[in-house]
Amino acid sequence: MTQKTFANLLKAVIILAFLCVAVVYALYVPSAAVTGRASFPELDSLWVPALIFVELTAVPVIAALVLSWLIARDIGRDKSFTRVNARRMKIISFLALADVFYFLVGIGVFWTLGIASGPLMIFVMLICSAGVIVAVCAGALSHLILKAAVMREEQDLTV
């Protein structure tokens, strides 16, 4: 597989991921909020803040997809191992950790208010685990890309 083909494949996966994120945040989250609102009419005043809270979790995800697109673009240009791409991966790692922290704090608040229940907390832990896994993998890739960039710079100086 050529560099250009690989970059195009990455871009296709990023577009697919973006479409999935768009469907979840534009269709599923609002419909779940409406269903939840009908189930708990006594908490009617808290559903709008809950919906806004969940919708804001999309911001770091979309930012990470944009950074991933830029990395894929650089791979297509044969600029895979650069300090810029290492920094982008590091930012993706921080975005994932920030999203997990934001989500945990928000769910903690909703749990203390009596909105979050036991089954929801299991779902939250799964989502947070996935976020931590993404953060660790992105951080490790950032480190490896940086080391490769430094090696490439040293090699360019010796030639």
Cβ atoms within 10 A of the Cβ of 141, count? 18
Query: Which domain covers residue 13, as residue numbers?
Result: 3-158
pLDDT in tens, 49-79: 888 888 999 999 999 999 999 999 999 999 9
Residues 6+ apart with CB under 8 A from 114: 43
pLDDT on residue 43 = 64
pLDDT on residue 115 = 73
Using CA atoms, how far apart are residues 70 and 35, in angstroms rounded to an integer?
Answer: 38
User: Which residues in the chain land under pLDDT 70?
Assistant: 36-43, 159
For the record, the structure tokens of 4 come out as 């250009």
pLDDT on residue 159 = 59
Cβ atoms within 10 A of the Cβ of 42, count? 7
Percent of the chain with pLDDT over 70: 94
Using CA atoms, how far apart are residues 50 and 110, in angstroms rounded to an integer?
Answer: 8
Q: Give the global pTM.
A: 0.88
Domain total of the chain: 1
pLDDT on residue 20 = 96
pLDDT on residue 99 = 95
